Structure 1
């Protein structure tokens, strides 16, 4: 019979360096092999996650570049609000995570601090993800609900200190369900308006190019800058200066490359949504 491999203990999460280490650990099976049972049938040792201690908080703060100096949106103001709420509830903060200069429009993959915060709850380091305001998690309702869903599936709760979200209570969870229904209705209405606007463009003889493989935020930026009066060369220079890769992963943008994006379906959709008032 194969020998058992020992369990290993590994630290999880990447806490803010200002915090005192709290010793949170997760216990996992170290590549455990399949073990034969009494009747010769194999079974595998599964990964085990320690249940988070109630009242343990992973705190998340975020500012985008435009918000660095904005009143009430600074990192220290967010930290103070979270620390005050944690003290009021008698909870304790076990990890801090920060995303600086990153928009709330980015998904989880584009924000390392948010990804680490989610992992802290999913791995049993904390039972609550706390922010100062719900828009620190996401600007869009759908992304916000996706984050809440991940936390709830892990057995945790999401709390915003401004009382916009609190899934640690029955009333808060009910409010989240209502938000989900609103998001579904909004999505359907956006789809209908976008389809109607695109159909109107086709009827008017406007040719729509291929879908772009660029991230939507890049296409939106190009459309916004072009519609704002910037020339194609100026847009290209800005993208190169900011290190934005092309659809093929290249580093060099040309006016013709920008023009191709503007003639694509994604750019047409963004403009159609703007026309539809989305």
Structure 2
């Protein structure tokens, strides 16, 4: 048995471990290893997480026959990932258990459990999509009202109230970037020009790269900066 889970809001990792271990004891499952991916996004594939890599290793070497997790959306990136991975585990004789399903446990050892998991995977994907859309909308609103929406934005400073205030020197650089681009200069050529002029980046350096120039040109918050 192996577990793979991050801390949920209001629930400590220790509490989750205790719940998972108790579940195993009730079903006479031996705990092989407890894996914690603390601070790692559930939006990443298992292979992209340290704990997930360890879980894959345990499964591929057939050291476990059951995989437990507190919630589906903390174990898999999306519905397709969940269904594809769990089907692969089923083919290897590995049962997947989810503990937090409206206060009940669920496993894939029976047709009902598999059906419920398929439905849950779809709803989990819907929830992620809705959260992403709400986040995008909130960011766009902050941009339009010149409120801080990330750590730093070239062309602006943040005052004590969290408002974005135009940095005149950086705004002038944005105007220069736009004019060079409109004249046909490549992103790399613009970056080289800024470096030659000794213009400072947002972090205080003078070495510009084309990706920084591109991000400035694509940021909608600079749409009204004169060119």
Aligned length: 156
Match of 1:129 among 67, 90, 104: 67
Asked if the contact 1:151/1:157 (under 8 Å) is kept, the reply is yes
Asked if 1:157 is matched to 2:95, the reply is yes
Asked if the contact 1:226/1:232 (under 8 Å) is kept, the reply is no
TM-score (structure 1 length as normaliser): 0.45
Please list, as runs of the form range in 1=range in 2, the aligned pairs for 1:98-247 lying within 5 A after superposition: 98-138=36-76, 140-162=78-100, 163=104, 165-178=106-119, 182=122, 225=139, 227-228=141-142, 229-230=147-148, 234-235=152-153
Query: Hey, what does 1:48 align to over in structure 2?
Result: none
Query: Hey, what does 2:10 align to over in structure 1?
Result: 71
Q: Quote the offset at 1:145 in angstroms.
A: 2.3
Partner Cα distance (1:127, 1:232) in 2 = 44
Q: Quote the offset at 1:102 in angstroms.
A: 1.0
- Partner SS for 1:105: coil
Q: Quote the offset at 1:235 in angstroms.
A: 3.9
Partner Cα distance (2:18, 2:107) in 1 = 18
Residue ranges of structure 2 left out of the alignment (5+ in a row): 156-206, 221-227
Q: Structure 1 residues 226 and 175 mapped into 2: Cα distance closer, same or farther (>3 Å)?
A: closer
Partner Cα distance (2:119, 2:64) in 1 = 26
Please list, as runs of the form range in 1=range in 2, the aligned pairs for 1:20-31 lying within 5 A after superposition: none
Asked if 1:97 is matched to 2:41, the reply is no
Q: Quote the offset at 1:76 in angstroms.
A: 0.8
Q: Structure 1 residues 233 and 83 mapped into 2: Cα distance closer, same or farther (>3 Å)?
A: closer
Q: Structure 1 residues 179 and 101 mapped into 2: Cα distance closer, same or farther (>3 Å)?
A: closer
Asked if the contact 1:130/1:161 (under 8 Å) is kept, the reply is yes
Q: Structure 1 residues 260 and 94 mapped into 2: Cα distance closer, same or farther (>3 Å)?
A: farther
Partner Cα distance (1:236, 1:153) in 2 = 52
Higher-Rg member (1/2): 2
Asked if the contact 2:83/2:118 (under 8 Å) is kept, the reply is no
Q: Quote the offset at 1:154 in angstroms.
A: 2.6
Q: CA RMSD in A?
A: 3.9
- Per-residue Cα deviation, 1:31-56 (whole angstroms, up to 9, x for no partner): xxxxxxxxxxxxxxxxxxxxxxxxxx
Q: Quote the offset at 1:176 in angstroms.
A: 3.2
Residue ranges of structure 1 left out of the alignment (5+ in a row): 1-56, 191-216, 238-249, 264-278
Partner Cα distance (1:232, 1:134) in 2 = 29
Please identify which structure carries the higher helix content: 2
